[in-house]
């Protein structure tokens, strides 16, 4: 019988009760609890706030953050490192720094592990890490605490099967995103494993055009060089395609991309060819889907403005903001500090350009209904702080709401 591995941990250290009080103090939100208790609706004066019924921290995020806290508690006297951000929320990552966890940041997409020794502890983020990064850390003999989300692991299994069976993994995602880089690396488990990342439907159309025989090889390689395997050749590797996605993308677009590519393969070579050489599978995580569904339900109500709270680099938050912007005036704010009640301004990320824009008098006069949701990496206290500032903008003391 093999001895247990004492340097690799995926299930925490059994210290949940030891860190629960600290986690609650750091991230709980009283106003969010009040919203839940009142059917996700708070009204005071002429302001009503409506909260989507699925929002904020998902299970995978809660697990990752809790394991980071457990790790610090388990190893109080050892150096603890984190490979990149644990999740895409600046407040959570800053709190980990305050706990003495050093966050390693990549240079040109590459992490430097030279300072890490076998005596150190390294936390892997919820997004996961590439196979190369993982093996480098295992070779060092340090303690590795793996918080990779289960939904991400499901995508890895799908991509691994594609590579095993000789399919190119066509991944709907952002080629530079930590999760997508980690997912793409899974094809390396098999000789010749290949991937191509497309950001949106426009980029997927480049693939369908190539399948239709209207693509230019040199132009395609020039455009997607950074988003594909080093050996990728569209003339060879678009013959067999398996579709997957970054778990936080817009679900309907991922499904549409799969349908478009499948249709293009049928048009080019027939149903029989498609049946043998095309696969697709919805790998959007359930938490992402639940939050998108909840927002769509909220958008059926009469809203004057929508607030989406979450990191400006949070993919699932960006997807929520894009959904909302289609139906109502929407502001994507990183946190409550983006709202200045005294000046009556809001600083938000523009859903089209990505630029941060300050807007005056964003909360119209008279009775107003504000919709609210938050990305899966946004803690409840930051959501509650945002609600408080909405009311404060109208001169309403949130502490008076009972």
Give yes or no for residue 357 having a pLDDT over 60.
Answer: yes
What is the spatial distance between Cα 31 and Cα 224, in angstroms, rounded to a whole number? 46
pLDDT digits (tens, 9 = 90+) for 292-301: 999 999 999 9
**What is the greatest pairwise CA distance in the chain?**
72
DSSP label at 225?
Answer: G
Percent of the chain with pLDDT over 70: 99
Q: Tell me how far apart the alpha carbons of residues 88 and 127 are, in angstroms, rounded to a whole number.
A: 10
Residues 273-309 pLDDT 10s = 999 999 998 777 888 899 999 999 999 999 999 999 9
pLDDT of residue 183: 97
Annotated catalytic residue 301: no
* Residue 3: pLDDT over 70: no
pLDDT at 400: 78
Give pLDDT tens digits for 196-230. 999 999 999 999 999 999 999 999 999 999 999 99
Query: Quick one: pLDDT at residue 98?
Result: 97
pLDDT band at 325 (very low <50, low <70, confident <90, very high): very high
CB burial class (10 A; 0-12, 13-18, 19+) of residue 4? exposed
Q: What whole-number percentage of the chain has pLDDT above 90? A: 91
Contact 237, 168 (CB under 8 A): yes
How do 80-83 and 101-104 pair as beta strands?
parallel
Band (pLDDT 50/70/90 cuts) for residue 172 is very high
pLDDT in tens, 129-138: 999 999 999 9
Q: Do 75 and 121 touch, CB atoms closer than 8 A?
A: yes
Enter the pTM of the model: 0.92
Tokens matching residue 131: 């196979």
pLDDT of 4 above 70: no
Question: At a CB cut-off of 8 Å and minimum separation 6, what does 393 contact?
Answer: 339, 341, 344, 363
User: Is a pLDDT exceeding 90 seen at residue 171?
Assistant: yes
- Predicted confidence at residue 108, as pLDDT, reads 87
Token pair 């399919």 is found at 167
Q: How far apart are CA 337 and CA 385, in angstroms?
A: 9
Burial 351-369 (b: 16+ CB within 10 A, else e): beeeeeeeeeebbeeeebb
DSSP 105-154: --BTTB---TT--TT-EEEEPTT---HHHHHHHHHHT-EEEE---HHHHH
Distance CA 267, CA 283 (A): 25
For the chain, domains (ranges, CATH) are 27-58+287-396 (3.40.1010.20), 60-148 (3.40.50.11270), 151-284 (3.40.1010.20)
Residue 306, H or E segment: strand 305-309
The SS3 assignment for 384 reads: helix
CA 93 – CA 155 distance, rounded (Å): 25
Q: Average of pLDDT values for 18-27? A: 95
**Residue whose C-alpha is closest to residue 259's, from 240, 275, 246, 243:** 243
What is the rounded distance in angstroms from the CA atom of residue 8 to the CA atom of residue 122?
Answer: 10
pLDDT at 402: 62
CB 315 within 8 A of CB 308: no
Q: Could you tell me which residue, 124 or 108, shows the higher pLDDT?
A: 124
**CA–CA gap between residue 183 and residue 177 (Å, rounded):** 10
Spot the catalytic one: 160, 179, 253, 334: 179
Choose among 143, 141, 105: nearest CA to 12: 143
* pLDDT of res. 285: 84
């Amino acid at each position: 019988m093999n001895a247990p591995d004492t340097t690799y941990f995926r299930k925490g250290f059994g210290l949940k009760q030891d860190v629960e009080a600290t986690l609650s103090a750091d991230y709980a939100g009283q106003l969010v609890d009040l919203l839940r208790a009142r059917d996700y609706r708070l009204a005071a004066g002429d302001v009503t706030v409506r909260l989507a019924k699925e929002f904020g921290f998902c299970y995978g995020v809660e697990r990752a953050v809790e394991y980071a806290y457990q790790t610090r508690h388990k190893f109080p006297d050892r150096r603890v490192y984190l490979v990149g951000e644990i999740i895409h929320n600046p407040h959570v990552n800053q709190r980990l720094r305050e706990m003495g966890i050093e966050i390693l940041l990549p240079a040109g997409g590459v992490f430097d592990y030279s300072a890490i020794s076998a005596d150190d502890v390294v936390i892997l983020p919820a997004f996961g890490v590439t196979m190369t990064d993982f093996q480098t850390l295992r070779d060092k003999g340090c303690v590795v605490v793996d918080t990779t989300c289960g939904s991400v692991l499901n995508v890895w299994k799908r991509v691994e099967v594609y590579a095993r069976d000789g399919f190119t993994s066509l991944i709907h995602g952002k080629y530079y995103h930590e999760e997508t880089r980690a997912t793409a690396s899974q094809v390396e488990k098999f000789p010749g494993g290949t991937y191509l990342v497309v950001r949106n439907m426009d980029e997927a159309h480049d693939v369908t055009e190539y399948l239709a025989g209207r693509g230019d090889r040199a132009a395609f390689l020039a455009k997607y060089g950074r988003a594909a395997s080093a050996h990728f050749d569209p003339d060879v590797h678009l013959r067999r395609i398996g579709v997957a996605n970054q778990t936080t993308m817009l679900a309907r677009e991922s499904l549409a991309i799969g349908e478009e590519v499948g249709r293009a393969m049928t048009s080019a070579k027939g149903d029989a060819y498609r049946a043998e050489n095309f696969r697709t599978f919805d790998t959007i995580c359930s938490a992402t889907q639940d939050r998108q569904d909840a927002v769509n339900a909220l958008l059926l109500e009469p809203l004057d403005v929508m607030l989406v709270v979450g990191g400006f680099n949070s993919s699932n938050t960006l997807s929520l903001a894009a959904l909302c912007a289609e139906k109502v005036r929407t502001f994507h704010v990183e946190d409550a500090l983006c709202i200045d009640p005294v000046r009556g301004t809001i600083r938000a990320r523009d859903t089209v350009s990505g630029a941060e824009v300050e807007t005056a008098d964003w909360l119209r006069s008279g009775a107003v209904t504000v919709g609210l949701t938050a990305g899966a990496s946004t803690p409840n206290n930051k959501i509650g702080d945002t609600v408080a500032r909405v009311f404060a903008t109208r001169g309403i003391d949130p502490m008076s709401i009972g």
